[in-house]
């Protein structure tokens, strides 16, 4: 059994707080355990109910014959200072600082990631590089006029060749959706655009500074990592919760939640022996999938809500862990696999995350990651077949020989990635609207909110939910990953924890793409052609009428009236320096001014729109390419 597995409820210590009703936390992942830990610091007792036999949720660490495996790879990096304080408070010196290196494996070669143009072109070879450049130039000259899909968006900025090499295969492996069916809005925010000219300039001259002198750091070069994997963090956290008087109960899946008059009354869990137990509580914090939560409510919600609960979908995850009899295979923490001939999407090298992840430092432990759907042919395949598949693909990729692979095992993780398909948004809105009336229920964490967030932001939902229990009024649905969180780090500016956590991590769907555009459009402004034309028409007509009237009134009798002004008759039909001519000039100058103002507004608006598009592209290009990045699981 893994070293961080823990069975049943712990024996309560003598200093257990004597709350009449505990706070019930569903799920012992980062969100749930952080909530329980924060509650203990606030003097409230928590009972944590976990369906699995191990703590950590997606951030667990599993063990096989002394080798430890992180499910998905979890970098401990955050811009939320309170989260980092919690990490250090919980784990202390066991939290290591590790160098970060990840590359892209394609056609037997490793390419720098984030992409560096010179490195990429060198790796692709002269002939392919020529085609890449020609493809890029063609995209500049003949772009897709309507960027409706991920494919269109990427090809317009990189060309077809780079799209096929560095975007298409991996994106489709992760999400199981053709690039031609993923919305362009996701790409416009999730991909940190690589413009060949801009990137080459930065490569040769260095990264540009902002007006305030800040240097944009496009690559996070190191991160924190527990000595024995992320599960060590959550095993320790669970122990601290229990030491403070809380309970952490494993193998205790929730089967029902009773509610009455807008409050959750208690939950019913199934014990390891199959019997049921009722757990009462004052407040309830749930990190279980929000759809499952709705379906376990008793009395059940309306059919519309149950239908919404069944609508939410997920991508699931398989790790094939292999032990290789070689001390070093590659220096990366992980590599992305872009070859379409293999099904593996990413390969973790756990030894490079922490040397203590392996039982024998003369060997290497790899994690081959497959993005699947629960019930598909890979998910249902026997472990022996999956290990055999992993062995074949490692050999095919040229990373190890068949004889070097000594052993292997399989780890399956359900509901690793919330899917943001066309139906998700409406379904989630229906669920949230109906559950909003429960005054003592809060949804936290990735699956609790059906949001593709990182570990640190899942933790923040737990922290703020715990503080709400004691009277705060935080909006935990505002906690998520900010737009430029992953690889775009500005130094040294920091923001408060709740503010830094606000935003939304980007997955294939429309995510606030218009907000930035609207802000820029508002800043640039737009001329109303009718208004500008009307204003100029009135001014032009009034000026000409007034000038003519003054000439007529103040010209002495017997002298020619306005000989110079009368020359306007060459331009205004029927105009003369007379009272009749004044009104003719008024009408014609007004029409001319209106037309001139309307045309001027059109020209200004077109130039503004062009500058707005240029600025948006420039903003997109300020950061390094990041479509693959993020905390992995």
Q: pLDDT at position 564, please? A: 65
Residue of higher predicted confidence among 617 and 533: 533
Q: pLDDT at position 521, please? A: 58
On whether the 23-95+222-311+421-512 domain is CATH 3.40.640.10, my answer is: no
* 3-class SS of residue 271: coil
Contact indicator for 159, 135 with CB cutoff of 8 Å: yes
Lowest mean pLDDT among 123-132, 575-584, 623-632: 623-632
> Would you place residue 582 in the very low, low, confident or very high pLDDT band (cuts 50, 70, 90)?
confident
β-pair partners for 368? 320, 347
pLDDT in tens, 511-523: 333 445 555 555 5
What's the whole-number mean pLDDT along residues 48-69? 96
Q: What percent of the chain has pLDDT over 70?
A: 78
pLDDT in tens, 457-468: 999 999 999 999
Residue of higher predicted confidence among 610 and 472: 472
CA 254 to chain centre: 29
C-alpha angle with apex 312: 33 to 473, nearest 5 degrees? 45
Residue of higher predicted confidence among 170 and 580: 170
Beta strands in 92-136 (DSSP E): 95-99, 102-106, 109-112
Q: Is the pLDDT of residue 7 over 60?
A: no
Q: Is the pLDDT of residue 273 over 90?
A: yes
Lowest mean pLDDT among 171-180, 260-269, 327-336: 171-180
Contact indicator for 290, 431 with CB cutoff of 8 Å: yes
> Within 10 A of 528 (CB to CB), how many other CB atoms are there?
13
pLDDT in tens, 536-562: 888 887 887 777 777 777 677 666 666
Average pLDDT, the chain: 82
State the residue for tokens 């450049």: 133
Q: pLDDT at position 411, please? A: 96
pLDDT in tens, 195-207: 444 444 444 444 4
Q: 245: Cβ–Cβ under 8 A, 6 or more apart, which residues?
A: 12, 13, 15, 16, 17, 40, 45
What's the whole-number mean pLDDT along residues 441-452? 94
Q: Which residues of 397-420 are buried (b: 16+ CB within 10 A; e: fewer)?
A: bebbeeebbeebbbbbbebbbbbb
Contact indicator for 356, 93 with CB cutoff of 8 Å: no
pLDDT in tens, 350-383: 999 999 999 999 999 999 999 999 999 999 999 9
- Phi, psi of 349, deg, nearest 5: -115, 90
> Within 10 A of 274 (CB to CB), how many other CB atoms are there?
6
What's the whole-number mean pLDDT along residues 235-262? 97
Cα–Cα distance between 150 and 153 in angstroms, integer? Answer: 5
What's the whole-number mean pLDDT along residues 79-87? 94
**pTM of the predicted model, to two decimals?**
0.72
Q: pLDDT at position 565, please? A: 65
Q: Is the pLDDT of residue 53 over 60?
A: yes
Q: pLDDT at position 575, please? A: 75
Sheet of strand 46-49: strand arrangement? 247-249, 46-49, 23-26, 283-286, 441-443
> Would you place residue 91 in the very low, low, confident or very high pLDDT band (cuts 50, 70, 90)?
very high
Q: pLDDT at position 608, please? A: 79
Q: Is the pLDDT of residue 72 over 70?
A: yes
* 3-class SS of residue 545: helix
Residue of higher predicted confidence among 522 and 297: 297
Q: Best-predicted range by mean pLDDT among 27-31, 75-79, 131-135?
A: 27-31
If we measure between CA atoms, which residue out of 399, 409, 420, 413 comes closest to residue 337? 399
Q: pLDDT at position 22, please? A: 94
What's the whole-number mean pLDDT along residues 297-315? 96
- Phi, psi of 337, deg, nearest 5: -105, 110
Q: Is the pLDDT of residue 481 over 50?
A: no
If we measure between CA atoms, which residue out of 569, 617, 608 comes closest to residue 589? 569
Which structure tokens are listed for 431? 């669920």
What's the whole-number mean pLDDT along residues 67-84? 91
Residue of higher predicted confidence among 443 and 150: 443
Cα–Cα distance between 423 and 309 in angstroms, integer? Answer: 11
Q: Is the pLDDT of residue 285 over 60?
A: yes
Rg of the chain in Å (alpha carbons): 32
Q: Where are the domains of the chain?
A: 23-95+222-311+421-512, 115-218, 529-618
């Amino acid at each position: 059994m893994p070293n961080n597995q823990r069975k049943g409820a712990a024996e309560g210590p003598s200093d257990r707080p004597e709350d009449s009703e505990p706070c019930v936390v569903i799920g012992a992942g980062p969100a749930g355990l952080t909530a329980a830990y924060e509650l203990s610091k606030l003097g409230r007792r928590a009972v944590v109910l976990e369906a699995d036999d191990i703590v950590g949720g997606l951030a667990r660490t599993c063990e096989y014959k002394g080798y430890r495996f992180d499910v998905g790879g979890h970098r401990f990096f955050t811009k939320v200072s309170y989260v980092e304080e919690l990490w250090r408070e919980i784990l202390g010196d066991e939290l290591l600082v590790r160098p970060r290196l990840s590359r892209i494996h394609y056609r037997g070669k490793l390419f720098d990631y984030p992409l560096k143009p010179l490195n990429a072109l060198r790796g692709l070879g002269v002939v392919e590089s020529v085609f890449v450049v020609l493809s890029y130039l063609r995209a500049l000259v003949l772009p897709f006029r309507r960027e409706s899909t991920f494919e269109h968006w990427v090809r317009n900025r990189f060309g077809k060749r780079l799209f096929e090499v560095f975007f298409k295969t991996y994106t489709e492996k992760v999400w199981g959706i053709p690039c031609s069916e993923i919305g362009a809005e996701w790409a416009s925010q999730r991909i940190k655009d690589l413009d060949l000219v801009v990137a080459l300039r930065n490569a040769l001259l260095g990264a540009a500074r902002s007006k305030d002198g800040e240097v944009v750091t496009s690559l996070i070069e190191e991160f924190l990592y527990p000595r024995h994997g992320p599960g060590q963090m959550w095993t320790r956290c669970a122990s601290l919760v229990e030491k403070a008087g809380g309970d952490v109960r494993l193998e205790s899946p929730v089967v029902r939640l009773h509610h009455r008059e807008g409050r959750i009354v208690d939950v019913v869990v199934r014990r390891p022996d199959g019997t049921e137990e009722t757990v009462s509580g004052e407040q309830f914090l749930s990190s279980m999938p929000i759809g499952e939560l709705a379906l376990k409510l008793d009395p059940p919600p309306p059919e519309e809500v149950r239908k919404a609960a069944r609508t939410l979908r997920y991508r699931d995850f398989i790790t094939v862990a292999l032990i290789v009899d070689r001390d070093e295979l590659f220096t990366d923490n992980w590599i992305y696999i872009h070859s379409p001939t293999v099904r593996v999407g990413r390969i973790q090298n756990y030894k490079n995350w922490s040397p203590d992840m392996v039982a024998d430092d003369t060997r290497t432990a790899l994690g081959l990651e497959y993005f699947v759907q629960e019930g598909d042919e890979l998910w249902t395949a026997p472990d022996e077949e999956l290990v055999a598949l992993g062995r074949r693909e490692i050999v095919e990729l040229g990373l190890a020989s068949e004889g070097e692979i000594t052993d292997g095992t399989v780890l399956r993780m359900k509901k690793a990635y919330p899917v943001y398909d066309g139906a998700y948004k409406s379904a989630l809105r229906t669920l949230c609207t109906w559950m909003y009336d429960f005054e003592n229920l809060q949804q936290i964490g990735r699956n609790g909110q059906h949001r593709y967030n990182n570990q640190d932001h899942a933790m923040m939902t737990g922290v703020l939910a715990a503080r709400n229990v004691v009277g705060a009024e935080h909006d935990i649905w505002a906690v998520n990953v900010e737009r430029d969180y992953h690889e775009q780090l500005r130094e040294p500016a920091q923001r408060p924890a709740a503010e830094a956590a606000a935003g939304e991590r980007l997955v294939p769907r429309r995510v606030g793409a218009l907000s930035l555009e609207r802000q820029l459009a508002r800043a640039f402004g737009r001329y109303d052609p009718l208004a500008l034309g009307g204003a100029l028409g009135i001014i032009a007509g009034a000026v000409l009428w007034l000038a003519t009237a003054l000439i007529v009134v103040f010209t002495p009798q017997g002298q020619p009236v306005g000989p110079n002004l009368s020359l306007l008759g060459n331009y205004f039909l029927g105009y003369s320096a007379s009272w009749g001519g004044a009104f003719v000039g008024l009408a014609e100058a007004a029409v001319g001014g209106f037309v001139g103002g309307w045309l001027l507004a059109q020209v200004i608006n077109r130039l503004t729109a062009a500058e707005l598009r240029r600025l948006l592209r420039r903003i997109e290009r300020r950061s390094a390419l990041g479509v693959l990045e993020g905390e992995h699981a």
